[in-house]
Every structure is written in C-alpha cells, then in structure tokens.
Amino acid sequence: MNFEQARFNMIEQQIRPWNVLDGEVLDLLSQVRREAFVPVAHQSLAFADLELPLRGSGENGQCMLAPKVEARMLQDLAVQKHEKVLEIGTGSGYMAALLAQRAQRVITLEIDAELANLARSNLGKAGITNVDVRQADGAKGIPADGPFDVIVLSGSVAEVPHKLLEQLKTGGRLMAIVGNAPVMRATLITRTSAVEYLSTQGWDTLAPRLLNFPEHPRFSF
C-alpha cells in the first residue's frame, strides 16, 4: 500500500472538504504517521473515512475516531505551543500524538490498561516525549494536575460534567462530542471567568461513548 498517496488523498478528499483549512493542522496530518497508530489488521483502512476498532470488534466502543473528526477538533481548539492539554480517551495514542506537536505537554487518560500500554508503545516508537499516558478513569479528570488550557474528550458524552469544566483555566477550552444518536454535536466550551462558560456547537457528527460518563435517564412508556 502506498501510505503517502493514501495520506494525501485523505487530506484532500476527506478533510479539506469538511472545512478543515488551517494550514498548520493540514501539515500536521501529513507529518504524523496515522498508520503507525492503527492495529495491523486494519492498516489498509488507516486513511478511510470511518472509525477503526482498537480491540477485536471494538467492544465498549473503543476505536479511533474518523480522521476528519480528529482534524476538525484540532482546528477548533487552536492549541498553542505554551499550553497544557488533558485528553480523555487515549485509544491508540494518535490524537495525543497530534496534540503533542502543538502543545507544551499532554496528559492523556485511558481507562483500559491494554490500550494505555499500546498508546505508550506507539508514542515511544514515534519519538514523542511530551505525552504522559495514564491508565485512569477520565470521567473524573485529574484535578491535582490542573488547571488545563485545553481538555479534549476523544469520544462522545451525554453531557459534559461540571467537574471537568472546573479543571479549565480561565480562557481554557474544552472540546467534546455531546448528545445522543442520531444527533450529536461537536461542542466547544470556553471558560470566560471563574464562574462563567461560553458554549458553541459548530458541527454535527457521531462518535462512540466514553466509558463511565453519566447518561440521561431514558423514558419508557
């Protein structure tokens, strides 16, 4: 397989048409080897416009998000070189690798020990040294290491817990995919003061659930 041609096609045919036009983001996607973070069994699909399971058939919804979703989240967050980032839902480590190229430091939390070890290995092979992978329940965040400039939820939630918003610095941003299928919205929340937050929803998509986040009660008749 010609990975370089497939990478070029991914950027030009999937990501640019999805309104990802930030030159720095596009350059980053061309530099970080996505195929190095994809399970060997799925490497032929590394650049396809779909989610890729990370464990067997993707039990517990554990997968890599579609490339265009990751790219647009990066564009919306506009991470800066001096910033400290918290990611929840490490998976194979690809999103952490992208964030690491733009941030000063990334802490990424993965609830599954096997995936946490996989991510450490992938990031180490890629020569990325400013990412700290921790096996932990990301639904609670890590208040002791905050506050953060940026928090990224690499999966969907019914709602963003306030205890995560409290771990943002003033001026910090949190990105999450919020809602219930078939309607989920990419939500960017900015902390504007000690007690105030501004929320914008820029685009619709779907993503598997992050584990252990609260769900809205479902009504039955």
Per-residue pLDDT tens digits for 28-43: 999 999 999 999 989 9
Task: Dump pLDDT digits (tens) for 99-127.
Answer: 999 999 999 999 999 999 999 999 999 99
The pLDDT, as a whole number, for residue 122 is 98
Give the pLDDT band (50/70/90) at residue 217. low
Least Cα distance to 149 among 106, 211, 97, 89 occurs for: 106
Beta bridge partners of 53: 63
Task: Reply yes or no: is the peptide bond before residue 182 cis, omega within 30 of 0.
Answer: yes
Least Cα distance to 71 among 125, 10, 158 occurs for: 10
Task: Dump pLDDT digits (tens) for 165-175.
Answer: 999 999 999 99
| Pairing assessment for the beta strands 84-88 and 105-110 based on DSSP bridges | parallel
Which two three-digit tokens encode residue 102?
């733009």
Cα 55–58–63 angle (5° rounding)? 85
Which two three-digit tokens encode residue 65?
């998000």
- Section 72-93 average pLDDT: 97
Locate the domains of the chain by residue range.
3-205
C-alpha–C-alpha distance, residues 124 and 200, integer Å: 35
How far, in Å, are 41, 129, 156, 216, 218 from residue 178 at the CA level?
A: 30, 31, 6, 12, 16
- Section 169-191 average pLDDT: 96
Beta bridge partners of 176: 187
Task: Dump pLDDT digits (tens) for 43-78.
Answer: 999 999 999 999 755 445 589 999 999 999 999 999
The pLDDT, as a whole number, for residue 216 is 74
The pLDDT, as a whole number, for residue 59 is 47
The pLDDT, as a whole number, for residue 56 is 53
Asked if the model's pLDDT at residue 11 lies above 90, the reply is yes
Which two three-digit tokens encode residue 120?
């450490």
Class of domain 3-205: alpha beta
Tell me, rounded to whole angstroms, the distance of Cα 92 from its chain centroid: 11
Q: What percent of the chain has pLDDT over 90?
A: 89
